[in-house]
Amino acid sequence: MDLAASGAFEDLQLAAEDWASANGLLVRREGGFQTCPITLIPSIFPRQTYEEAIALQPIFNRLVDRVSRDLSWLYKELEATGAGDDFIQAQLEICKQVHGAQARGKNEKFQTTYLGCNRSDYMIHCAPETEKDVPILPAASGTPQGSFLQVELNTIASSFGSLSTQTSALHKFLCTRHRDSVESAYAKLGLNIPPLTPENLPETNTVNVLCQGMAEAFKHYQMQRGTDCVVRMLYIIFVVSDGEKNSVDQRMLEYELWNTHQIPVLRHSLTTLATNATIENRGGAPVLFVDGGTKEIAVVYYRDGYSPDAYPTKKEWDARLLMEKSYAIKCPSITYQLVGAKKIQQALAGEGVLEKYLSATDAIAIRKSFAGLYELTDEAVAAAMAHPEHFVLKPQREGGGNNVYGEDITKVLPSLSTTERAAYILMQRIFPPGQDSLLLLRGGLLMPCKALSELGVYGAFLGDEEEEHLNLTGGHLLRTKPDSSDEGGVAAGFAVIDSPCLL
Ligand code: ADP
Ligand code: MG
């Protein structure tokens, strides 16, 4: 079908693009902005899966916090991985410098409250017949898998909370105001749809929830500092990359923090912080300042720092260490970031591990969402060499475009030394169902294609060793990509933002 060329969706596309401009559903490009890559109409998604995935989020939030405080387990699990991966090693070194016995000055206050702005990503799994032939599947623990499986858990720079909220709002507008055009678009794709009613088009509250988390952390810091700090002079820092393309997504959080909570945000890159950030002792606390010691920082929110390119020189690592040592509340702490490593995802799937951190009921609930996750033992490597189509080979990287799929796995695996093997995990390949979709790509190109979707669920968490101050579930992010693409990131250019029409 050449539906795009026939101009079949021209009116709808125009309505969508104008709405996107008017409501900030935009990404930066050279010299300006363009419509965020989106689907023109929502994808049909099973309600039960949606509701189950939403319900898991507070458990994952709690799990991240509990595991982050079990440093000896984290160090043990990441030791070999660090030896094979410099980036993990550098994070471990920061962690050890901050948490080591000698690291804390005598009587110096130490920040043990962490803020999590997490996102857990899932795909529905339709097991192909041939999966039965793969000897080490499914998950090693033997617990039966549910109908959807976790792709990964993001603990740093979980993005698109704002643009996914806007995409849901756009789709709701199109499905009500332009209902006839939307229904005719589904009909042209040959899709039977549920009624386009508000209860089938769930709204997202992600911006509110992430900002509630940041505001709560801000207030908590204010309370901790007591009369020592001048309230007027406190800020949240967004750590962002120079030339950030996804700035609108970040700015919407900044505006919500100001409009609803009267909290000012500063934006800095790790490179500028290397010369701009300082620590000064105030009332026994190592307080973080920027701009010549004039602005006190209550919360550091990282939207960068998750990949090696954020640290081109030692200066950026020094800035990270400085902030980590400071009394500001970090989102995430270096420990939360390490818990988000793919190696830890694999380690948590091991027999009896979840039960150390969660109630038996909670452990069962989230284990059902675990795909088969494997260390690169000889047995796992042999299985992946024999059936590469059933595995994904993953290094310890974030941001899309790093994984190895299919036949490429059989080329990479034999080339790895024992040390290098520890830097990867093998994961059961998830096979989500295909659905015809209309992708609106950068530059306004409309692409009808068979597509695959990934559901993300946001959460915000604030806790310390004694108490959970806040544990919230945010809204959804549905990302959809052509079924010909293995990878799925929006920023990386593989996928677009979608929203679910619940069936
Ligand atoms: P990143 O940290 O780079 O986002 P992910 O683990 O999320 O790494 O993988 C990137 C993309 O690769 C996902 O969005 C998804 O589309 C695809 N992918 C990852 N793991 C699997 C898997 N086990 N089965 C199928 N596709 C996967
Ligand atoms: Mg991902």
CB-CB contact of 461 with 468 (8 Å): yes
Pick the residue whose CA is nearest to atom 12 on ligand 1. Answer: 487
Boundaries of every domain in the chain: 10-502
Residues 128 and 123: their CA atoms lie apart, in Å, by 14
* Per-residue confidence (pLDDT) for residue 103, from 0 to 100: 62
* Per-residue confidence (pLDDT) for residue 482, from 0 to 100: 95
The three-class DSSP label of residue 154 is strand
Cβ of 398 less than 6 Å from ligand 1: yes
Quick one: tokens of 150? 């976790």
- Give catalytic residues, as residue numbers: 119, 152, 154, 159, 342, 394, 398-399, 479
The three-class DSSP label of residue 298 is strand
* Per-residue confidence (pLDDT) for residue 444, from 0 to 100: 85
Residue type, 198: P
Residues 42 and 503: their CA atoms lie apart, in Å, by 12
Pocket test for ligand 1, best of 396, 487, 498 (most atoms within 8 A of CB): 487
Which is it for the CA torsion 88, 94, 99, 101, positive or negative?
A: positive
In tens digits, the chain (503 residues) has pLDDT values of 566 555 679 999 999 999 999 999 999 998 899 999 999 999 999 999 999 999 999 999 999 999 999 999 999 999 999 999 999 999 999 999 999 866 666 668 899 999 999 999 999 999 888 888 776 655 545 678 889 999 999 999 999 999 999 999 999 999 999 999 999 999 999 999 999 999 999 989 999 999 999 999 999 999 999 977 765 689 999 999 999 999 999 999 999 999 999 999 999 999 999 999 999 999 899 999 999 999 999 999 999 999 999 999 999 999 999 999 999 999 999 999 999 999 999 999 999 999 999 999 999 999 999 999 999 999 999 999 999 999 999 999 998 889 999 999 999 999 999 999 999 999 999 999 999 999 999 878 899 999 999 999 999 999 999 999 999 999 999 999 999 988 877 877 789 999 999 99
* Per-residue confidence (pLDDT) for residue 142, from 0 to 100: 63
Cβ of 131 less than 6 Å from ligand 1: no
Cβ of 475 less than 6 Å from ligand 1: no
* Per-residue confidence (pLDDT) for residue 486, from 0 to 100: 85
Kindly report the backbone phi and psi dihedral angles of residue 151, in degrees, each rounded to the nearest multiple of 5, phi listed first: -80, -55
CB-CB contact of 118 with 154 (8 Å): yes
Nearest to 460 by CA among 41, 61, 44: 61
End-to-end Cα separation, the chain, in angstroms: 26
Nearest to 53 by CA among 503, 479, 475: 475
Check: pTM over 0.85? Answer yes or no: yes
Cβ of 151 less than 6 Å from ligand 1: yes
Residues 36 and 26: their CA atoms lie apart, in Å, by 5
Quick one: tokens of 133? 């032939």
Residues ≥6 apart with Cβ < 8 Å to 243:
none
